[in-house]
Structure 1
Amino acid sequence: MSRTLPPNPLTDAQTDGAPLPLVAARDRFSDWLFQKALPFWATTGCDGTPHDLALLGAQESLTLEGEPALPPFKRVRVQARQLFAFSWAALQGWEEGVSRAHGIFRFMLRARREDGGWVRTLTREGAVKDNTADLYDLAFVVFALAWYGRLEGSGRAETLARETLVWIQKNMATPDGGFLNSLPDDGAARQQNPHMHLLEAVLALYVTTKHEPDLALAHTLYRLFRTRFFDPVTGTLGEFFTKDWQLAPGEAGQWVEPGHHFEWVWLLGEYSRLTGVDTSEPAMRLASFATRFGMVPETGRVRDGLRRDGTVLRGGSRLWVQGEALRGVLSQDKQDSRGMAVRLADNLLDHYFTGCPVGTWVDQLDAAGAPAVTKIPTSSLYHIITAYDALDQAAKLAIKAALPKR
């Protein structure tokens, strides 16, 4: 299976006889993604028959040997992430992605509830296993439908996405702002994470539809970020809160994640691009904290968890954190003037995409840089693709800047 894209004469852009660093990193990443990863996940990573490899959607996870792990459930969030992944790949010209996206979409429809919500998990065969509506899952359903709509073209996916957003706002909104983590309410601490992904989903839907009302919820979620999630004193992003959006007591209220800081940096840039709202100040402060305290100078890897004062609480480095750091860094510095993005991309290629079956990944490194994994999670492909997409866009800008002016 190969990427069926027309040749691009700009990919040979060079400076003083050497490839531009961003372009070289992008080309390495592109080769791994389109020649190794996507073909693997379109075959072994799908669950079906020889005639329809995505009949039963995507695999939940793989063993460390690269075989389907076959747990007795499939999370809807994983199906949605893979629907995004194959829709994105198909839109890039990777033809095998088309049938996989269609197949996963059909399978994912089994998770839609009669009342317009979506369940949390299915069995491997597609029966409902857990009828709970989970905000994190619902955010990814909307996100995936927004992307699938660009591929499918009939408008059905966008309609489903809008109906899902209406259902969330009708059934999960809370008096103090934001939404429940799940319905029925599990009583757990309120979380910023699903709201972050809901904002990402709403922005993706607007990019698909160009329909101004689709941005309404984005403004609400941005206000929630400014008034609840973001701490202007420390420049940090909270993770866990009480029901009235006060910091959760104890260590939970002090826990911050550099990966989510970088993810919000990118989101704030995208929200600003689409709305004209100036988000530069909080984005800069989030990036500064995550870079100063989260990035290990010796390795360039980004740590998983810190206290608000920068103390390291979890020194390991998940793959997804590196991917979000890559697109967050490029959101702040599109020319990668300090070489941080190239270093992050090289880290992914040299330390996370090696030492594992071809086309897969090591999802976690410990503080010493050794693998600390028991499985290969399918869900990481979403972070890999969004990181690559940011790198690809930056590389194209670098090429344009290097071309002779006419």
Structure 2
Amino acid sequence: MKQLAMEVKDHLEHKILPFWMNLKDEQNGGFYGEVDYSLQIEKEADKGGIATARFLWTFSSAYRVTNNEKYFEYADHLYAFLRDKLYDRTHKGIYWLVDFRGEPKDTRKHVYAQSFAIYALSEYYRVSQSQEALDLAMEIYHLIEEKGYDKENQAYMEEFDRAWHPVDNEMLSENGVIAEITMNTHIHVLEAYTNLYKASPNQDLKQRLHDLLQVHYKKIYDEQTKFLGVFFDKEWRSLVDMKSFGHDIEASWLMDETVKTINVDDPNYDKMILDIAYNIADYAMREDGSLINEQVNGEYDYTRIWWVQAEAMVGFLNAYQHTDDLKFEQLIIKLWDYIKQNIVDNRENGEWYWSIEANGKPTERSVGEPWKTSYHNSRFCLEFIERVLV
């Protein structure tokens, strides 16, 4: 495993991060908003709030783990853009989208996006000790709790207009439903609050994390099937028969990170975390070493999406470290081989393809855009470095 982790570290430092560093917009701030499938940088593409937060998290974390000063310079650059252009000083919170100059374009507020701002700002604080950044993270945390949390049904709400009036959840719904509650938002609120607790532990935040773990265990996780529900109405009733394999394996290690961070001793959580990992390993991994995307109403989607493979690497490493089960070690080795041979874009100046179609060909989709950034695959690499090499 150590040799694999060293290979992953080299891949991060010489393949992934240089690709994104090439997108630094010196004139308008932040990173350029799109790299199309032909690897052409679209310098006037819109810049996403989620994307900017994910970039900020990546370079802050890369500096924290590697101590390479050049990554901190990029983190500084991204922090300034998030603070000055993406944060709404009138109504608070970060915008969904700004144009290439940093002017507001899509001013809706989404709890999912706010969570990534917290995740990024808390990570930036961990390396910079910037009180301003921590204050902004705490402000968004209190905003989510005030505007975005429904105490009656213990659920985080989804989408709002600029002034924080609830609207239909267009951005995180699919399959013909408008979901009032999503698993996706909840796992990323958990992720964000956990990192905020690492940056600035306090009792209120610790209690929210305990509550969130309970919600995941009691309302999102199905103990019978070992899958997580995806879309719910406001009463936590499932809206579609859907299994999202990448989100499940991602959630397993994110929940474990929370358990470790706030030092929870609960065998129910421990069992859930490992049951999810075993379930995905047995149900959705393919002979070629890859993890397929999802299953909806019994129909499989065999697309191999970049972030799904990255999260599986971490999820299986986490399970292996808990169990020493060689099954997980073999899954990691095969999956890394699949990633190198298929997902990694070996064209000059390439990074990772968005996905590989069921026929084995890369999806001709932009390789950098508001939903595809440095976060998932950089994090997989950083987790391997921290867990195996450090």
Give the SS at the match of 2:300. strand
Is 1:301 aligned to residue 278 of structure 2?
no
Query: What is the match of residue 332 of structure 1?
Result: 319
Q: Give the CA deviation at 1:126.
A: 0.6
Alignment partner, residue 266 of structure 1 = 253
Give the Cα separation in 2 of the matches to 1:123 and 1:295: 39
Q: Which residue of 1 aligns with 2:87?
A: 112
Displacement of 1:139 after TM fit? 0.9
Within the alignment, does 1:37 sit opposite 2:25 as a pair?
Answer: no
Q: What SS does the aligned partner of 1:65 have?
A: coil
Amino acid at match of 1:191: T
C-alpha distance in 2 between matches for 1:268 and 1:65: 37
Secondary structure of 1:306's aligned partner: strand
Residues of 1 paired with 2:236 and 2:133: CA distance?
33
Residue 70 of structure 2 corresponds to residue 96 of structure 1: yes
AA paired with 2:168? D
Take 2:366 and 2:95, find their aligned partners in 1: how far apart are those partners? Answer: 24
Q: Please identify the structure whose Cα radius of gyration is greater.
A: 1
State how 1:146-295 maps to structure 2 within 5 Å. Answer: 146-174=122-150, 175-183=152-160, 184-186=166-168, 188-189=178-179, 190-248=181-239, 253-274=240-261, 275-278=263-266, 279-295=269-285
CA distance in 1, matches of 2:325, 2:380: 14
Q: 2: distance between equivalents of 1:144 and 1:394?
A: 21
Superimposed CA distance per residue, residues 2-55 of structure 1 (whole angstroms, 9 cap, x where no aligned partner): xxxxxxxxxxxxxxxxxxxx1222222221211232123112x22224xxxxx5
CA shift, 1:108, in A, is 1.0
**Aligned residue type for 2:86:** A
> Amino acid of the residue matched to residue 302 of structure 1?
L
Aligned equivalent of 2:376: 383
Deviation string 1:368-401 (CA, Å, 9 cap, x unpaired) is 322113210253421112211222234338xxxx
Equivalent pair of 2:49/2:98 in contact (CA under 8 Å): yes
Q: Distance in 2 between matches of 1:106 and 1:336?
A: 44
CA distance in 2, matches of 1:112, 1:380: 19
In structure 1, distance between residues paired with 2:319 and 2:299: 24
Task: State the distance in 2 between where 1:163 and 1:356 align.
Answer: 43
The residue that corresponds to 1:73 in the other structure is: 46
The whole-number CA distance in structure 2 between the counterparts of 1:177 and 1:261 is: 21
Is the 2:2–2:388 contact (alpha carbons within 8 Å) kept by the matching residues of 1?
A: yes
Conserved in 1, the CA contact under 8 Å of 2:253 and 2:314?
A: yes
The runs of 4+ residues in structure 1 deviating greater than 6 Å are none
- The answer (yes or no) to whether the contact 1:87–1:97 under 8 Å persists in 2 is yes
1:313 alignment counterpart: 300
In 1, the alpha carbon distance for the partners of 2:72 and 2:145 equals: 32
Native 8 Å contact 2:310 2:380 kept in 1 = yes
Q: In 2, distance between residues paired with 1:343 and 1:394?
A: 19
Match of residue 128 from structure 1: 104
Report the alpha carbon displacement of residue 305 of structure 1 after superposing the two structures with TM. Answer: 0.4
Which residue in 2 is equivalent to 1:141? 117
2:24 to 30, 46, 49: 46
Aligned twin of 1:404: none
2:17–2:378 Cα contact (<8 Å) kept: no
Distance 1:146 1:342 in 2: 32
Q: Is the 8 A contact 2:156 2:185 kept in 1?
A: no
**Structure 1 position 83 matched with structure 2 position 74:** no
> How many Å apart are 1:262 and its aligned residue?
0.6
Q: 5 Å matches for 1:361-380?
A: 361-377=352-368, 379-380=372-373
Q: Distance in 1 between matches of 2:346 and 2:325?
A: 28
Note the residue ranges of structure 2 that are not aligned, 5 or more in a row.
Answer: 161-165, 170-177
Q: Answer yes or no: is the 8 Å Cα contact 1:319–1:380 preserved in 2.
A: no
CA distance in 1, matches of 2:381, 2:78: 22
Where in structure 1 are there 5+ consecutive unaligned residues?
1-21, 50-54, 398-406
Measured after TM superposition, the shift of residue 208 of structure 1 is: 1.7
State the identity %: 23
In the TM superposition, residue 76 of structure 1 has moved relative to its aligned partner by 0.1
Q: Distance in 2 between matches of 1:380 and 1:258?
A: 20
Secondary structure at 1:81's aligned position in 2?
helix
TM score, norm. by length of structure 1: 0.84
Give the whole-Å Cα distance in 2 for the aligned partners of 1:368 and 1:326.
23
